[in-house]
Every structure is written in C-alpha cells, then in structure tokens.
Amino acid sequence: MSSQAHEHQPLGGRVLTLPFLICAALVAIAGVILFQRYTQGLAAASNLNDGYPWGIWVAIDVVIGSAFGCAGYVIALLCYILNRGEYHPLVRPAVLASLFGYGLAGLAVLVDLGRYWNFYHMMLPWYAQPNSVMLEVGLCVATYTLVLVVEFAPAFLERFGIEGLRAKLNKVLWVFIALGVLLPTMHQSSLGTMMVIVGHKLSPLWQSQMLPVFFLLTAILMGFAIVVWESVMASLNFRRPMETPVLSKLSGLMLVVASLFVVLRFVDLIVRGQIGQIFGGPQSGWFVAEMALMISGLALLIPKANRNRSRALFLSASLLLAAGILYRLNVYLIGFTPAVGPWHYFPSVKEIMVTVGVFALEIALYLLFVKKLPVMHAVHPEHG
C-alpha cells in the first residue's frame, strides 16, 4: 500500500452533538453513584455479598470490557507480526478502542475493590504472591494499558506537530508492539485460569481445564468483531466509505476462530463426560443461547458473498460479539454458584447505571478523539 493510504486525519465537526450529550449525562449519573459508593461503601451502591464478591463491575466492565479492548491486539498481530499491511488503516482506531477498553476496565477494578486505596500493593514485591494468577492478570492489564498509551501517542504527537519526538518514538515502537501482542495473550488466557481454580462452584458446562484456551479464543474473536463493528458504525455515522474489502478478509479469520471455538467447546464437553448437561442441566438454556449466537454468527460468514456485504458483516460481528459476551458472563457470573449459604445476586440499578456510565464514557471519549485527533485514515478522492 502507498504511504498516502496510511495517512490519518481528524474527522472534525461539532463535539457537543446529541449522542455526546446523552453519553455525558449517563456519565454524570454514574459519577453521582460512584460518589456514594466511595463515601458510603460498596453496600450503598451494589448488591455484592459474601457469596458473590464480584458482580457486573468485574464480569462486564473488566472481563468483557477488556475483550472489547482486544481490537488493537488482533490488528497489531496481523499487521506487524504477520506483516499483513492491508490492515494498516485499521490500526489507530483499533488501538484507540483498546486504550479505552483497558483503561476503563482498570478504573472499574478500583470501583469494585473494597480497599481500593491499597491497589498499588500488587506492584510491591513484599506484598506479591508470585503463584497468584490474579497478580499476573493485574500486572499484565496495568502494563498493557501503559503500552497502549505509548502506541497511541503518535496520534497526539502528530496532532500537535511534535515531529522530533514522534520520529524518536517510532524507532522504538516495535518494542511496545511486541509487548502489545504478548501481554494480552497472557492475561486474557489467565482470565480463564482464574475461574479454573473455583472448582465445582462453576457449572460443568463451563468448568474446564480448557478455560484459558477458550478465553483467549473469545478475546481474539471479540477483537476481530469489534473492529468490524466499529468500522461499519463509523462509516455510517461519519458518512465515510465502507471498508468492506479489508473487513471481508478479516471476516474469514473470524469464521476460522469462531468455528474452532465451537468445535473445541463440544469436544471438551464430550471428553469430560458432560455433554448431557446440555439437555437437562440447570443452566443449559444459557449454554444453548451462547452456542446459538456463536453458530448463527459464523453461519452468516460461510457464504463468501456475505463476506463482501457490509450489512452481513455487521450482523455477523454483532452476533459473535453477543456470543463472546454471553460466554464470559456465563463463566464469571451466571454459571457460578457459591459453595455454601443461600446467596443470591442480581445487580442493583446503581450497579447497572455505573456500568452504563463506563461504556458511555468510552463512547464519548471515542467521539471526542476521532474528531480532534488523526485517528481515522484519510479519505482521498480516488477512494470515494
């Protein structure tokens, strides 16, 4: 591809649009609730209890939110590690999505922590438990967020004309790109490992030694899907040409990953002797819904013609995203049952509004950044 095709430009336009203001209002509501949470404790804003020490702030904001943030991971893997230059126009939007996904996931952890003021203890060796998978996840997520800041820094430097520093950064950027591929591979699989250790508390439909593999596969799949989803939405809302040719190639990879996930899921159930749980287990309906979404999404991509239609790509990406969301929600919340006690959990309205506020903040920041910073690749006359 020509260097010209790799140029980026701010979209421009008004920031204070109706969608931005709606998101800002939702963020403000979440802010009020968070003030209550930090001044009066977790019980004032959540339904968390001893049986369910984490709820949607972890299951959705962190576990699912970080998977949304894998857009930069998969595009960096394709573009820089596998040397697939045709995906280069997708890099900056993907890195931006990752930065918001991981940055806000980190903030959500601070919301969920009871003693949030001690969060820095994980960075102190004398407090560290080197055998803790949670420590590995925490350190990897924190480090990867910093890596994403560095990876996105060229957009800021370009916007403000700091070319000297940008040139120096470009010389060492390969180090951060390598870390940007290594770290998500580690902590996304480890998110699965965290639930392996809960043992029988997790339904046999999901409890498996294969959880690290399944979490890595869903991270890759959701990363691809969010790239497609974001690209189509940006094209529609900002009146830009559809990026169907490059998304079509990406959809072929989505088909492979989704198919591999489905096959391994059923093989795993058969090998563990739990296939019968599908037909009568207490949570079988959630498994069926998860698989129905996944199979529907990949089935849409089987006809090659559909991979060249933006509408089919968007629908497939939406279904696969929903499948990945439900899988992770099943593992971390729905399929989990405390070992003792009559514990029950359903998120409070305040918990839900905080989660909505987190995603609203991500959308608002995205709108601000793409309009003010060179994130999107430039559209030249020959491209429409």
Phi then psi for 202, rounded to 5 degrees?
Answer: -100, 135
Within-domain flag for 284: yes
| Per-residue confidence (pLDDT) for residue 381, from 0 to 100 | 53
Task: Please give the residue range of the domain that contains residue 296.
Answer: 48-345
| Per-residue confidence (pLDDT) for residue 221, from 0 to 100 | 95
CATH number at residue 330: 1.20.1630
Within-domain flag for 8: no
Q: What tokens appear for 62 in the block?
A: 């962190």
DSSP classification of residue 333:
I
DSSP classification of residue 50:
S
| Per-residue confidence (pLDDT) for residue 333, from 0 to 100 | 94
Q: Provide the sign of the torsion angle of the four alpha carbons 356, 360, 362, 363, taken in this order.
A: positive
Residues in the chain, total: 384
Look at residues 305, 331, 332 and name the one whose alpha carbon lies nearest to residue 316: 305
Look at residues 363, 369, 378 and name the one whose alpha carbon lies nearest to residue 156: 369
| Per-residue confidence (pLDDT) for residue 192, from 0 to 100 | 93
Each residue's pLDDT expressed in tens, for the chain with a length of 384 residues: 333 344 778 888 888 999 999 999 999 999 999 999 999 999 999 999 889 988 999 999 999 999 998 998 898 888 877 767 677 778 888 999 999 989 888 888 889 888 888 888 888 888 888 888 888 888 888 899 999 999 899 888 888 888 888 888 888 888 888 888 888 989 899 999 999 999 999 999 999 999 999 999 999 999 999 999 999 998 888 888 888 888 888 899 999 999 999 999 999 999 999 998 898 777 889 999 999 999 999 999 999 999 999 999 999 999 999 999 999 999 999 999 987 778 899 999 999 999 999 999 999 999 999 999 988 877 765 444
C-alpha separations of 216 from 91, 152, 182, 185, 334 in Å: 20, 23, 12, 7, 20
Within-domain flag for 5: no
Within-domain flag for 1: no
| Per-residue confidence (pLDDT) for residue 3, from 0 to 100 | 39
| Per-residue confidence (pLDDT) for residue 5, from 0 to 100 | 41
Rounded to whole angstroms, how far apart are CA atoms 22 and 20? Answer: 5
Within-domain flag for 185: yes
User: What's CA 141's distance to the chain center, in Å?
Assistant: 12
Look at residues 74, 70, 72 and name the one whose alpha carbon lies nearest to residue 82: 74
Total domain count, the chain: 1
Within-domain flag for 378: no
| Per-residue confidence (pLDDT) for residue 4, from 0 to 100 | 39
| Per-residue confidence (pLDDT) for residue 219, from 0 to 100 | 95
Within-domain flag for 82: yes
Contact between 70 and 220 (Cβ < 8 Å)? yes
C-alpha separations of 231 from 247, 296, 298, 304 in Å: 8, 21, 19, 20
Within-domain flag for 235: yes
Name the CA dihedral angle for 209, 214, 215, 220, rounded to a multiple of 10 degrees: 150
